[in-house]
Amino acid sequence: MKTAVEYYNQEIKELFNMHQDGEISGKMFHMSRLVALTKAKEMEKEHIMNAVNFGDERGKITTYQTAEQYYKETFKSE
């Protein structure tokens, strides 16, 4: 399984090469970069929530009712 950072790094490399080779425009590069960033953030959220659920199953976490609640309270700044 790739980490979110590994996924994002691979996507950026591929997009950069496509842009350098003239396969995509600068605008398309930036739009695709934002899509990749959004997906990487979703992947990171999922990894964090899976870790919380795993910890909860082992009796280590009891403060939060759900992994979603933990994520929102810990990582959301909005």
* Rounded distance between C-alpha atoms, residue 62 and residue 5, angstroms: 29
Q: Which of 30, 28, 35, 36 lies closest to 6, judged by CA?
A: 36
pTM: 0.73
* Rounded distance between C-alpha atoms, residue 78 and residue 76, angstroms: 6
Reported as a single tens digit per residue, the pLDDT across 40-67 is 999 999 988 888 777 665 555 555 667 7
51 and 70 in contact (C-beta within 8 Å)? no
Could you tell me the residue ranges of all domains in the chain?
4-75
**Per-residue tokens: 67:** 């992994």
Reported as a single tens digit per residue, the pLDDT across 25-43 is 999 999 999 999 999 999 9
Reported as a single tens digit per residue, the pLDDT across 5-28 is 999 999 999 999 999 999 999 999
C-alpha to C-alpha distances, 30 to 49, 65, 76, nearest whole angstrom: 29, 38, 24
